[in-house]
Amino acid sequence: MAEAQLFVSHDEFTCSVCLDTLTDPVAIPCGHNFCLKCLTDCWDQSQVCSCPQCRHTFMLSPSLKRNNLLNEVIKKLKKTTLSPPPPQNYAGSGDMECDICTGEKFRAVKSCLTCPASYCQTHLQPHYEGDALKHHKLVDPDRNLKEKLCEKHQKSLEIFCKTDDSCICMMCGVTEHKNHEMVELETEREEKQVSDV
């Protein structure tokens, strides 16, 4: 079974006192999280116990206990997501370049058939995080993106017209090929691979 991917921002696990990743995280009644040491230091220097973030004041000092679940999540994320991204390589001869980088370009790690463009690791992130882009079709870096676009509509070729024996886009499917026999491009590819065997 495929694992679901969760994309989180480093800011979601940052203490607003020390501005670093939470260490021994504690949650206080207003719902904000802080490092245990940061919060106790803050309250030791003040006459009142108030949230350093929203300034909510507590009549009695809340009991502070480490949030074990949040602590484990942060440990796991430090090993993966929150660790610095792998060093980016500048595109060398034979490498696909990122279409977004300016100046010296990084090596592309994915191409988007919907955009159509190729992206380095940094510029690819919005495709994982943004709702508008996360449904785009990403493939390994591809020099021939233009060949995978309909010349007329500049849309991705996703349909195979069996009647005309050609790859077409969705717009062509509802206009010029309206009553033709059509299948998804992947379906046709699989059928041809099976018949070639």
| CATH code where residue 19 lies | 3.30.40.10
Tokens of 183: 């299948």
Confidence band, pLDDT 50/70/90 cuts, at residue 133: confident
Q: How far is CA 9 from CA 68, 77, 82, in A?
A: 20, 10, 8
Q: What is the pLDDT of residue 197?
A: 64
Q: How many domains does the chain have?
A: 3
Mean pLDDT of the 123-140 span: 84
112 three-class SS = strand
Mean pLDDT of the 108-126 span: 87
Q: What is the pLDDT of residue 62?
A: 84
Confidence band, pLDDT 50/70/90 cuts, at residue 181: very high
Q: What is the pLDDT of residue 161?
A: 92
63 in any annotated domain: yes
Mean pLDDT of the 120-125 span: 88
Q: What is the pLDDT of residue 76?
A: 79
Is a pLDDT exceeding 70 seen at residue 2?
Answer: no
Are 70 and 125 within one domain? no
pTM: 0.44
State the average pLDDT for the chain.
82
Rg (CA), the chain: 26
Mean pLDDT of the 93-99 span: 86
Is a pLDDT exceeding 90 seen at residue 180?
Answer: yes
15 in any annotated domain: yes
CA distance 170 to 172: 5
39 in any annotated domain: yes
Are 91 and 124 within one domain? yes
Range of the domain at 118: 85-146
Confidence band, pLDDT 50/70/90 cuts, at residue 83: very low
Q: What's the burial of 29, exposed, middle or buried (CB within 10 Å: 0-12/13-18/19+)?
A: exposed
Are 17 and 62 within one domain? yes
57 in any annotated domain: yes
Higher pLDDT residue, 42 or 9? 42
